[in-house]
A and B are shown apart, each in its own frame.
Chain A
Amino acid sequence: MNRLSRRIRGLDPALLQLVALTVVIFGAMAVLNPQKFLRPYVFESITYVAPELGLLSIAMMLAMLTGGIDLSVIGIANLSGIVAGLFFHAYGGAHGPGLMHMGVGPVLAGIGMALGVGLVAGAINGLLVSRARITPILATIGSGQIFTGIALVLTGGPAIVGFPAAWGAIGNGRLFGVAAPLLVFLAVAALVMVLLTRTSFGIALKLIGTNMRAATFAGLRTSRTVFFSYMLSGVLASIAGIILSGRTNAAKSDYGVSYLLEAVLIAVLGGTNPAGGRGSVPGIILALLALMLLSSGLQLMRFSNFLVDFIWGAFLLLSIALNALRTRR
């Protein structure tokens, strides 16, 4: 018992604060709206919707660890889905049965293409930030416009509808009774967590974010590490794009625009320091859970989506204020 309490006290106070926040939000929603909120359906739908946002948030956190930011994640996610969709339509015909029942081979090829888009896009961001030394804000605002623009030129505007069944299973299916996207998310989150805490790459990322100069003098290859972090963030964004297009069976150049603020919010709320150096996967998962409970609770209470946006924005400012007050003491 003693050991347990010491363990709890040893935890990061930011994480404890998040656990408390999650419990409070859950409690508030359960009290305000028990018959609607406390149903398995509500929690099940969260396991399908949360993963894509969670992946974008982890991507955002990775960029923030070095003191950067990745404003192009939504563009990368949409472009990945669109490139895969165009490939499927070219390979199986736009509306034929060949599209629906496409074999595993072409679907794997589609996944490879989507991930490839994320890798190339992330590498472009990495080059712009680490080689051309453009500030991450401007580099990713610009590249995000280009990725979205390419998506727009490729599709001409409207959504690409119709993906193979196997592709849809990534976003809609179940495995062992659990939502498939959740499994993908947990697997990726575990990998990133190991990468950040157990490898020299992860340590280097945080050191660079804490003090770029010191890291350079300590002999770390800073620009190469920054480059890889943007590449990784691009790949995570493309996985989010695969899940998003799988879940909705469509891909469009301007899907999920509001995800950008939400990804930043979850990263910041999850204890990531946007100036660099601090951030963790468990923090992201807790913040994601808290905000998913909040927004599905509000939607059940028939709050308009616009008001939910207002609350997300206010939450971001509130979490900034709380973080500032905590670190000041």
Chain B
Amino acid sequence: MSATIATPARTGTLRLLLRRPEMAVALLALVSMVVIGLINPAFWDAANLFSLLRANVITGILALGVMIVMLSGGIDVSFPAFAIAAMYLTIKAMIALPYDGVLLPFIAATAIGLTLGLVNAMFVHGLRMIPLIVTLGTGTAVRGFLLGAVSPSQINIDQMPPALIAFGRTQILHVSQAGGQPAGLSAMVLVYLALAFGVHMMLRYTLIGRSIYALGGGEEAARRAGFSVRGTTFFIYGLAGALAGFAGLLHGSMIWIANPHDMVGMEIDVIAAVVLGGVSIFGGRGSVVGTMLGVFTLVMLTNSLIIMHIDTTWQRIVVGLVVIVAAGATSWRDRRRGA
């Protein structure tokens, strides 16, 4: 578990990296930043850095949910469908009512995600089915329902609720760059940080947090230690769904479009980021800080291809390599510890 802190007396470099996977990712992030900056100094422009941070928000919130599922030894590929369904249904309802506000819609979207997440939990726990197969089924069913029964057409900016757009546009920091172009940092970064902090506190200091790690360590062991496997499973998938629903609406408000076809295939990028952050798919190992660093590094690598003068068709290969190298490193680490 990442909570174990290396005792200073025994810190060889390798040992430190093994004990704190966050350090390895942080190092990787730093090296990538330097390399990308050397290839093209435009990387360091405030506008670019701000847009990178902004790009972390949605992937990051989704990654928090996936991290929780993976800590328990499961996997979730349904969350992009849940996020888009929550976003699209909420915005449709806002337009139909008509209602223009921020707080209530976010509660609604989160509730839709939560409900769908609980359906996942029902299948995973009640029917003892492999999470990948369950979430593949629920994800496809929800996406098919949204596109087939609700609508396959996107809602453009002129129809979007203005309050939502205004919220997504909020900025916290303004800088005027060397070229005179102003650059602003999206306030949504704060929303992401707040959620990450909340999840971190939950994992560290609450009973339910401990029981997620315990479940990842082994279901039978967790049960015998007195943790409620049922309650924990429902909490995990419910929270992952709720985070997805919230992230979905936030995504809609940040890009000012509600597109039901959006986020297709995004599960792979998010899983890649979480794995890069050192979370083991066998459960029990991983942290919020590692996940956030993983998200940052993956987003930076894929978003900086153009800055590095690499054709964006290489993006899939980069993501694939990240998954394989990170998963290989994690499995190697876990085996060393297990031995």
Stretch of B54-62, B104-112, B322-330 with 4 or more beta carbons under 8 angstroms from chain A: B322-330
Residues of chain B contacted by A135 (CB below 8 angstroms)? 281-282, 327, 331
B141 & A142 in contact (Cβ 8 Å cutoff): no
A265 to B322, CA, bound (A): 28
A274 engages B316 (CB within 8 Å): no
Pairwise interchain contact A149-B123, C-beta atoms closer than 8 A: no
- Decide: A148 near B316, CB < 8 A? Known: A138-B323, A313-B140: yes
The reply to whether A142 and B323 form a contact with Cβ atoms under 8 Å apart is: yes
Q: Is B275 an interface residue (CB 8 A)?
A: yes
In contact, A134 and B324 (Cβ under 8 angstroms): yes
- Check if A141 sits within 8 Å of B127, measured CB to CB: no
Determine if B263 is an interface residue (Cβ-Cβ < 8 Å): no
Chain B contacts with A in 272-301, Cβ cutoff 8 A? 272, 275, 281-282
One of B146, B282, B317 near A145 (C-beta < 8 A): B317
Within 8 A of B (CB), among A131-181: 132-135, 137-139, 141-150, 152-153, 156-157
- B271 located at the interface, meaning its Cβ lies under 8 Å from any Cβ of chain A in the complex: yes
Contact partner, A312, options B144, B268, B311, B316, Cβ 8 Å: B144
B224 at interface (Cβ–Cβ under 8 A)? no
Decide if B149 touches A307 in the complex (CB within 8 Å): yes
Q: In the complex, are the beta carbons of A317 and B132 less than 8 A apart?
A: no
| Contact A142–B134 (Cβ < 8 Å) | no
Query: Range of interface residues on chain B?
Result: 35 or more
Q: Report chain B residues within 8 Å CB of A150.
A: 317
The answer to whether A149 touches B317 (Cβ under 8 A) is yes
44-74 of chain A: CB within 8 A of chain B: 69
Residues on A with beta carbons closer than 8 Å to the beta carbon of B317 = 145-146, 149-150, 153
* Known contacts A133-B335, A264-B136, A306-B148, A149 near B328 by CB under 8 Å: no
B281 touches A309 (CB 8 A): no
Question: Residue A128 at the B interface, CB < 8 A?
Answer: yes
With contact pairs A137-B132, A149-B313 given, residues A306 and B144 touching in the complex (Cβ less than 8 Å): yes
Is there an interface contact between B137 and A320, defined as CB atoms closer than 8 Å?
yes
**B205 within 8 Å of A by Cβ?**
no
Measured CA separation A156–B142 after assembly (Å): 32
Task: Considering the complex, give the chain B residue whose CB is closest to the CB of A315.
Answer: B137
Name the A residues within 8 Å of B145 (CB-CB). Answer: 307, 310
Interchain CB contact under 8 A, A309 and B324 = no
Would you call A216 an interface residue if the criterion is a C-beta within 8 Å of the partner chain's C-beta atoms?
no
B142, chain A: closest CB distance, angstroms: 8
Q: Could you say which of A137, A146, A156, A313 contacts B137, with CB atoms under 8 Å apart? A: A313
Residues of B within 8 A of A260 (CB): 136
B271 pairs with A141, CB closer than 8 A = yes
Q: Which of A128, A141, A149, A309 contacts B143 (CB 8 A)?
A: A309
Task: Contact check, A156 vs B323: say whether CB atoms are below 8 A apart.
Answer: no
CA distance A147 to B142 in the complex (A): 28
Chain A residues near B127: list those with CB within 8 A: 320-321, 324
Judge whether B331 and A310 touch: CB under 8 Å.
no
Cα-based distance from A137 to B271 in the complex (angstroms): 11
- Residue of B130, B139, B321 contacting most chain A CB atoms (<10 Å): B130
**Chain B 163-201 against A: per-residue CB contact (8 Å), 1 yes, 0 no?**
000000000000000000000000000000000000000
The answer to whether B114 has its CB under 8 Å from any CB of chain A is no
B318 and chain A: residue at smallest CB distance? A149
The reply to whether the CB of A308 lies closer than 8 angstroms to some CB of chain B is yes
A99 part of interface (Cβ distance < 8 Å): no
In the complex, the answer to whether B133 meets A139 with C-beta atoms within 8 Å is no
The 8 Å CB contact of B327, one of A134, A144, A321, A324, is A134
| Distance of A69 Cα from B327 Cα, bound (Å) | 16
Interface string of B91-134 (1 = CB under 8 A from A): 00000000000000000000000000000000100011110111
Write the chain B residue with the least CB distance to A67.
B130
In the assembled complex, the CB of B127 is this many whole angstroms from the nearest CB of chain A, namely 4
B41 close to chain A: CB less than 8 A: no
Decide if B321 touches A146 in the complex (CB within 8 Å).
Answer: yes
Interface residues of A in 238-272 (CB under 8 A from B): 260-261, 264-265, 268
A135-B281, A145-B320, A156-B313 in contact; A310/B149 too (CB < 8 A)?
A: yes
Closest 8 A/B residue pairs (Cβ): A310-B144, A313-B141, A145-B320, A149-B316, A142-B323, A306-B148, A307-B148, A309-B144
List A residues at the B interface (Cβ < 8 Å): 69, 128, 132-135, 137-139, 141-150, 152-153, 156-157, 260-261, 264-265, 268, 274-275, 303-314, 316-317, 320-321, 324
17 contacts between A and B (CB under 8 A): A132-B328, A134-B324, A134-B327, A134-B331, A138-B324, A139-B324, A142-B327, A145-B317, A146-B317, A261-B137, A261-B140, A306-B146, A313-B142, A316-B133, A316-B141, A317-B123, A320-B129
In addition to A135-B327, A313-B140, A320-B123, 13 A-B residue pairs with Cβ atoms within 8 Å of each other are A138-B323, A142-B322, A143-B324, A145-B319, A145-B323, A146-B316, A146-B321, A146-B324, A147-B320, A275-B130, A308-B144, A310-B141, A316-B133
